[in-house]
Amino acid sequence: MALDLTPEQKAAGKANFEQTVGDLARAGKMNSVAVGPDSSGPDRRDVLKAGLAAGAVVPVSAAVYYGYQSWQGNNAVKTALIGCGDEGGVLVGDHNKEYNQIVAVCDIRPSNLDRIFEGEKAPSPRKGLNNIYGKDAAKKIARYNTVEELLADAKKLGLEMVVIATPLHTHDVIAKKCMDAGLHVLCEKLMARTISKCKEMTNYAKEKGLLLSVGHQRHYSTLYAHAIEVLQTDILGDIKHIRAQWPRNNSWPFSASPAEREKFATGNDINGKEFDLPALRDGWCKPVPKQDAEPFLKEPQKLRDLGYESITELVRWRLYDKTGGGLMAELGSHQLDASSIILGHVHPIAVSGIGGEFFYGPGKNDRESDDGVFVTFEFPGKNHPKAKKGGKDESDIVIVTYSSFNTNSFEDYGECVMGSRGTMIISKEAEVYLYKEPEPGKGSSGGRDTKVTVTGAGGGKPAMEATSTWGGGGGAAITKGASATWDSAVRGYRTEMEHFAYCLRMWQKKGGKVDYTKNDKGEFVHKDIIPRCHGEVAMADAILALTANMAMAKKERIVFEDAWFDVTKSDVPETKHGPTKKA
């Protein structure tokens, strides 16, 4: 993210972060992320403190970190995947067979059903069921074309949960059908196309006594967890700005060999409109496989009955306002979620921004979704009344900016957290860099080349101090070098599925029905066996993304209302400020 960091400065920032984790852990300050009730193994804090006491580097497993390390004696949860496209392939590729056994897959697109078994070549994370289970075992995994056919066989399959990775506008409908069948639901993000539907999903799960979680995987990333623990010690001082971004460059011409072109469909869609191959290389505007198009061209009503107005809307669903939520839903929701966690799960005050179809157009991967967005959120600081009971400083504001443009990828994606005493950069979900602010009148007291250790960690408030050398050993080895293209513990996909399976088994041992009762503090009584990104957390993420879309469409500053975040109330932002277009 920082344009002018040299390789040496990046190495220093990475070492500073690991040193700080180690110093804080040795002082017992890395305690903010609670572990679960599982007491059969060592507490992760004990592991950290014991290992780091001698300066050792101790990699702490996600299972220990999130408190579900005891799985022995539990059978893998029988799981069905609904939606076998890009994200479904990632989830299958990263699932742990000891926790989740895939017994069925479902997709209305034949090409996706083939792809979920075949997978892709390394380094793609989409390994495919044939590679994960072996071809002979994978043949036993059932295939379905519709959710109804899958659910009709739920008992025969022994299904316990589903993973939903379908287009956004179908999430709420499919989730409810699965919950009606008594199945627990792990749904991909964004939670739903509107906040009303998010509230309906959340309340439906509570009524049914079933688990509902949404795949904002940063809630299960050990990299983010350690970074946030460091931030929560106030070591950066007064944070006033977080800059988040996810740039992409989809401006290059699309090309395909004659053999590849033979596999793609062109011509008139079921709505009579002509479609062709994409003009540009763009993961959201893919060629339409003949394998998917031909069945629906013969029987177009089948596709309409599934809620799609065209084959291109089915294949390129992220381009349409009805079926997708654009850059804010697909990318920005991740980073605004991370920013909210960094600031203590506070709700934002207001959002404004600009977005539009600035690059694409007729003959050039045309779309309804924006191809560029820049939004500004106002969050309450620690002493603001919205963040602290009794807080009186309404000027205590943190500005969070998010940008995503499809025409330039010069900078990496990530978050830059800027405080009065230091800066933390979380880059590409792979590395964390930490730097100390220089002190006036003190040479070499901070900056990009400065090495730091943490002092005052034993008694007073932790603070970074410049040093000529690092001391006492670093922290847990959680940052990854440039050669690491994928790491399950850092990415969080595997962990979110493991923990969901763990929570499911714990509720079965308690009698089956999930209890969402809250205590006087508004916390779930059984929060240790409810997934970290449950319905209410995921709904807040959706409010951030979808309200930003409304602010850009209306070209106005929208003030967030507390009732929007209350699942017991019907108030939603789209009533007053939307929906945008056809949501």
pLDDT tens digits, 363-379? 999 999 999 999 999 99
What whole-number distance in Å separates Cα of residue 100 and Cα of residue 398? 40
Sequence letter at residue 12: A
What whole-number distance in Å separates Cα of residue 317 and Cα of residue 323? 6
What whole-number distance in Å separates Cα of residue 79 and Cα of residue 129? 13
- Collapsed DSSP state (helix, strand, coil) of residue 534: strand
pLDDT at 26 over 90: no
What pLDDT was estimated at residue 583? Answer: 53
The values of phi and psi at residue 392, to 5°, are -125, 0
DSSP class of residue 407 equals B
What's the predicted TM-score (pTM) here? 0.93
pLDDT at 50 over 50: no
Own/partner long-range contacts of 35-44 (Cβ < 8 Å, ≥24 apart) = 35/64, 35/65, 35/66, 35/67, 36/66, 36/67, 36/68, 36/502, 36/528, 36/529, 37/67, 37/528, 37/529, 38/67, 38/68, 38/69, 38/70, 40/69, 40/70, 41/69, 41/70
pLDDT at 40 over 70: no
Q: Domain spans of the chain?
A: 258-317
> What digits encode the pLDDT tens for the residues 78-134?
999 999 999 999 999 999 999 999 999 999 999 999 999 999 998 899 999 999 999
Q: Which residues contact 169 (CB under 8 A, 6 or more apart)?
A: 193, 307, 317, 322, 323, 324
Model confidence band, residue 459 (pLDDT cutoffs 50, 70, 90): low
Chain-wide mean pLDDT for the chain?
90
> What digits encode the pLDDT tens for the residues 305-339?
999 999 999 999 999 999 999 999 999 999 998 89
Average pLDDT (386-401) is 91
What pLDDT was estimated at residue 61? Answer: 75
The number of beta carbons lying within 10 Å of the beta carbon of residue 97 is 11
pLDDT at 42 over 70: no
Percent of the chain with pLDDT strictly greater than 90: 78
The number of beta carbons lying within 10 Å of the beta carbon of residue 163 is 26
Nearest to 192 by CA among 324, 95, 321, 65: 324
- Collapsed DSSP state (helix, strand, coil) of residue 224: helix
Scored b (16 or more CB within 10 A) or e, 271-288 reads eeeebebbebebebbbbb
Average pLDDT (483-496) is 74
pLDDT at 37 over 50: no
